[in-house]
Structure 1
Amino acid sequence: MSYLVLARKWRPQTFSDLTGQEHVSQTLQNAIDSGRIAHAFLFTGARGVGKTSSARILAKALTCEQGMSPEPCNVCPACTEITAGTAVDVLEIDGASNTGVDDIRELRENVKYLPSRLRYKIFIIDEVHMLSTNAFNALLKTLEEPPPHVKFIFATTEPHKVPITILSRCQRFDFRRIPLGKVVGRLRHIVDQEGIAISDASLTMVARKGDGSMRDSLSVLDQVLAFCGDQVRDEEVVSLLGVVDRRLLLDATAAVFGRDTRTVLDIVARVDEFGYNMRQFCGELIDHLRNLLILKAVGDGTDLLDLSEAELATLRQQAESVPLDDLQRHLTVLLRADGELGHTSFPRLVLEMALVKMATLAPAVPVDQLLERLNKIEEGSGGGVADARAQWRATPPAPAGSPTPARAPERTAATPPPRPAERQAAPSAPAPRREEAKPVSEPRRTGDSWADFVALVKGAKPRLGSMLEQGSPLVVSADRLEIGFPEGAFALASLRDSDSQAALKELARQFFLAEPVLVMRPLAPDAAEAPPNLLEKKRVEKEQQQTVLKQAATSHPAVADALDVFGGTLAEVEPLERKESR
């Protein structure tokens, strides 16, 4: 005799056998008791939750030779024929194979005739949403006013595809996904009857793989039994189904909460070693943290979580020591990583980065505590932060280094600087005036000829000016302009170009009112120390200014109180003028 799979062998034969659909079975039984039996039913829900089985049970209850009763006897010829699928008055039609209007016309012709031997003629159409629009339209009138000896039972997994005109003519029953605990209980009953030794943990893994479908769960159980035989071990189930071991999830979250990055990376290595899919592990971890979040948020979330009692006890113990805000932040990181895992070539790296980030997240401080600390700062610093800000704005810190040099008087385009020969003349001798139009405006003089010349070049030729900032001014005069660059520097080779030389000579003539000799000289690494270039000067000045600003900030009482209360460090300081101008 051929083997009969568990899903067919243990198919529900009475309403009491239906698992997780008590709301449907109770309603149908009450309707049979009271005689309020509709002429058309629509059973909707996910796959493997009992829609077709309920249709057969209802057909048996309506046609049982012992009389209509809430539970069929399953021993009379009518019940046994319906169970075997050989009853001539109970027609099971596959909607996916009979989609045309001609099939429905044939069904309408059969409706006219009385049942041959049963009480009713019952039409069970599975996957009714697959019928064409014309087929639905051909069925409307018959479905609305069928003969008294006809009952229609439709089943579908996609009720939104059924026309509203059909839905309005049927009593609709929505079948739910079966809770994990009830699936495990049904599986336990089956394996006990079959004489199979298997633990509740393995049955839970099987039921979770079924994802709320009893038929899928029984199919997975069949696969497990084919691999393991009558003695099933947990390790074999994990290996066969490829599911993530719950211990890995518990160890991973414990390492994250304990800020143990080494253990976190070891767990990712174990996931890779076991051959688990990284995205699947990330999804399981998201589901695990979601369970912790629900337990932390509502306390007793038994009705919200699809878990066994042993798993709930473990989760409650782990959730006690984790703040709710931290769980939300961890979930945010994992959800972002799950999106990246879908299109990355380095799934292990993405998962490692996400878990390390979770393990190193700074603890979240509640807002009420932050406000309380700010109030303490204001109370301890007198005028508060606003007064400190006003005081800082009134007396900004001065930059480090030598005092600011006095600026040279501004000169117009009509009064150029004197030539070298004219500088040797008596100061009382008036300098001859030259009227010469300049193609570019000169920068304001600061007393540093090299810096002013570079600013002029940068205004006219930004690329050349940026390169000059990298050079050390060896000789700067109206007769000779000698600039040093490190050997092999890109700026040295670029400034030696003929076009660059021509542009620099023209700008030097405009600035110095002379034609100095341009020399671009390479500097050997072991040569004497050259003057610092402008980039180095700016960096030194910025560092000195930042040092002074930090000293001024840390010495302020409001800032000192804030650092003391929050236990922080001063990372960066910006002048108020610069901050407010943004």
Structure 2
Amino acid sequence: MDETAAGTPLNDEPALPGFPLEPPAAAGSPYRVLARKYRPRTFEDLIGQEAMVRTLSNAFETGRIPQAWMLTGVRGVGKTTTARILARGLNYQKADGSGAPTIHMPDLGLHCEAIMESRHVDVLEMDAASHTGIDDVRQIIDGIRYSPVTARYKVYIIDEVHMLSEKAFNAFLKTLEEPPPHAKFIFATTEIRKVPVTILSRCQRFDLRRIEADKLVAHLGRICTSEGVQADAEALASIARAAEGSARDSLSLMDQAIAHGAGVVTGDTVREMLGLADRTQVIDLFEAIMRGDVPAAFAGLRAQYDAGADPAVILSDLATFSHVVTRLKLIPDAAKDPVLSEAERTRGLEYARTLSVRSLSRAWQILLKGIPEVQASNRPLATAEMVLVRLAYAADLPTPDEALRALKDGSPVNVGAPPSAPSPPRPAGSSVSGNMALATSQARPQPRPEPAPDATPAIRLRRFEDVVAMAGEQRDIVLKRALERDVHLVRFEEGHIEFSLVDGANRTVANDLSRALQQWTGQRWMVALSSDAGAPTLHHQAETVERERKEGAANHPLVQAVLAKFPGAQIVNVVDRSEKTGDGGPADPAPLGLDGQDLDGDDDL
């Protein structure tokens, strides 16, 4: 944001909207970078900060002007530039001497040029990074008592104010709370948490937002037109994405891209300059991984690495695309984002229709963990390949609930396996859905299917505990919690459940459970409330079992010896030996020592 306005049109053409005409540079003058050449000069030139401009406009019009402002935000969003424009608005005065504080400054006033060039005697800028001590603040306090020389207000702009020392902040407190009427303070910082609350409470705070990508793209496009530079949409989107909401970063990258491409900025030149991977190749790599085709994924990674892309950047782009697909799956309107390329938009929608949220979430987690591993490795390519292997094998793993249910039912559990054979390359014009539909058969060897009966058997729920487990598998956390904590089971048969509720429980549990069971099993269940007391809740039963285990462990002689030896020690967990051995017979609980080993020394953990 901090670079939006003034530019010099080529060949005496009229200035573009939002780019006030500035005097042409003298022959032989040094080159001015775009970040300085197109720096905003009025509030209208600021982009992406409409809320702040509206607040300041209302304050100036009503005369409610505070004594201090605190501007915060990431680098390059325009904190220092906003401070200078604010100082210009406070001291705006026309040539005839008229004028008042305002944000509307269509013409240059008496003090405007000097303020914007940081050479006005009544507008003092101080860099707190190099003036951190109390002596520097004392100079401000000593000079603030004198009236301004020519302007309406004495304005003190202190950049990176969080760098001031504790004593310097304390010296500011009294002056900042009750300054002379002719003095105003404007602070700017990127580390707002390091500023004492005693300072913040004396200022009006404005959080300058990151500039949205579409506004940055439009801004860069206007500047390229003003500079006579050819730039395609893909290149501008890549620069806006790399700038991460900072206008100064985007203009610095644009300067570099213009020099790199000799006046022509394309997507290829930007990727080569930044060491980025081709977005289309990233999407192809994503497809190969989600299909489980490890050889194709290795080949795609190697090709991008040979072309100059950093392996960590490739993984970061993969994570970004997985996030794009997830957003497209959950929010279809996200396809209208102008930063997305046509390939990301069309193929991303196809993946969103075929991939589950579970697979996308797991891919995101693995990539997010793998990126710092690649950055810290002395063999980044090999580390990136291992991350891709991890991702390909885990692409279709079941969730813990699904694995537990499969083990209980005796059905095979898919634990991830390498592809039996690489899939053929995707022909031009073929749909992504067709390729992704091959993922299960090509990437995961399946057991030979048994002859299927005429009708698929319904899900069997033989116990009330199975119903609770099904609620957990279906991610219905509210219903699962209610069944565990609020339900006293009276009677259970397949197709029929009776229970009573604890005091204060939601009375709609029966209806909610009936609808859920019909959806899960495809059968109609009769769920009724009963006036009988029923069995204790599952939560109460679990607490009772745990309490009995701890009491049994506490009576064990070895545990009592440990507790006597270590005053204040507590029994945290107890493992039942019968659960571990599965013999079904009674067994004393095996006490756990402080180091997690069995105290009886039988090593049955």
- TM-score by length of structure 1 reads 0.62
Quote the offset at 1:53 in angstroms.
0.9
The more displaced of 121-130 and 92-101 is 92-101
Which residue identity is paired with 1:190?
I
Q: Which residue of 2 aligns with 1:34?
A: 62
Name 2:290's counterpart in structure 1.
257
The structure-2 alpha-carbon separation of the partners of 1:17 and 1:347, relative to structure 1 and needing over 3 Å to count, comes to same
Equivalent residue, structure 1, for 2:529? none
Deviation of the 1:382 alpha carbon: 14
Q: Return the alpha-carbon distance in structure 2 between the equivalents of residues 362 and 21 of structure 1.
A: 42
Return 195-204 or 329-338, whichever deviates more.
329-338
Matched residue, 1:322: 355
Q: Deviations over 1:93-132 (max 9, x none)?
A: 1111221211111111211111111111111111111111
Give the 3-state SS of the residue equivalent to 2:354 in structure 1.
coil
Q: Report whether the alignment pairs 1:61 with 2:61.
A: no
- Distance in 1, matches of 2:207 and 2:139, equals 29
The alpha-carbon distance between structure 1 residues 385 and 348, as it changes in their structure 2 partners (threshold 3 A), is: farther
* In the alignment, structure 1 residue 11 sits paired with structure 2 residue 39: yes
* Secondary structure of 1:116 counterpart: coil
CA deviation after TM superposition for structure 1 residue 153, in Å: 0.4
How many angstroms apart in 2 are the aligned matches of 1:577 and 1:83?
A: 76
Partners in 2 of 1:355 and 1:61 — Cα distance? Answer: 55
Please state whether the residue corresponding to 2:209 is helix, strand or coil.
coil
Cα 1:124–1:230 change in 2 (3 A) is same
Which of these two proteins has the greater Rg computed from alpha carbons?
1
Q: Unmatched 5+ residue regions in structure 2?
A: 1-28, 412-455, 464-578, 585-603
Give the drift of 1:372.
Answer: 11
Describe how 1:218-233 pairs up with structure 2 within 5 A: 218-233=251-266
- Report what 1:48 is aligned to: 76
Does 1:21 pair with 2:49? Answer: yes
Query: Once the 2 structures are TM-superposed, how far is the Cα of residue 261 of structure 1 from its aligned partner?
Result: 2.7
Q: Pick from 372, 392, 397: which aligns with 1:359?
A: 392
> Per the alignment, do residues 21 and 338 of structure 1 end up closer, same or farther by CA in structure 2, a change over 3 Å counting?
same
Distance apart, 1:40 and its partner CA: 0.3
Select which of 339, 345, 352 maps to 1:307.
339
Sort the Cα spacing of 1:138 and 1:361 in 2 relative to 1 into closer, same or farther, 3 A.
Answer: closer
Rounded Cα–Cα distance in structure 2 between residues aligned with 1:61 and 1:384: 73
Cα drift, residue 577 of structure 1: 11
Distance apart, 1:63 and its partner CA:
1.0
Shift of 1:329: 2.3
Point out where structure 1 has 5 or more consecutive residues left out of the alignment. Answer: 387-575
Tell me if 1:157 matches 2:190. yes
Task: Count residues in correspondence.
Answer: 391
Distance 2:218 2:170 in 1: 44
Give the counterpart of 1:191 among 224, 231, 235: 224
**2:111 counterpart SS class:** helix
Question: Per the alignment, do residues 313 and 192 of structure 1 end up closer, same or farther by CA in structure 2, a change over 3 Å counting?
Answer: farther
Structure 2 letter corresponding to 1:22: E
Q: Which residue of 2 aligns with 1:514?
A: none
Q: 1:302 to 1:147 in 2, by over 3 A?
A: farther
Question: 2:290 touches 2:395 (CA, 8 Å); kept in 1?
Answer: no
CA distance in 1, matches of 2:219, 2:39: 11
**Corresponding residue for residue 163 of structure 2:** 130
Distance 1:17 1:383 in 2: 67
| 1:44-123 equivalent positions in 2, closer than 5 A | 44-66=72-94, 67=99, 68-123=101-156
1:357-506 matches, cutoff 5 A: 357-361=390-394, 363=396
Question: Structure 2: how far apart are the matches of 1:577 and 1:313?
Answer: 52
TM normalised by structure 2 equals: 0.59
* Deviation of the 1:49 alpha carbon: 0.3
Give the 3 Å change call, closer, same or farther, for CA 60–362 of structure 1 in structure 2.
closer
- In 2, the alpha carbon distance for the partners of 1:383 and 1:364 equals 24
CA distance in 2, matches of 1:577, 1:111: 78
Q: Higher helix share goes to which structure?
A: 1
CA displacement at 1:300 relative to structure 2: 3.4
Query: For residues 144 and 227 of structure 1, what CA distance do their matches in structure 2 show?
Result: 51
Query: What percentage of residue pairs aligned between the two structures are identical?
Result: 39
Q: In the alignment, which of 303, 317, 320 is matched to residue 284 of structure 1?
A: 317
Please state how far the C-alpha of 1:579 moved relative to its aligned partner.
5.0
Q: Check 1:380–1:70 CA distance in 2 against 1; reply closer, same or farther (3 A cut).
A: closer
Structure 1 residue 347 corresponds to structure 2 residue 347: no
Q: Which residue of 2 aligns with 1:144?
A: 177
Call closer, same or farther: CA 1:335–1:98 in 2, change over 3 Å.
closer
Q: Secondary structure at the match of 1:279?
A: helix
- Match of 2:264, SS? coil
Match of 2:328 in 1: 295
1:245 alignment partner in structure 2:
278
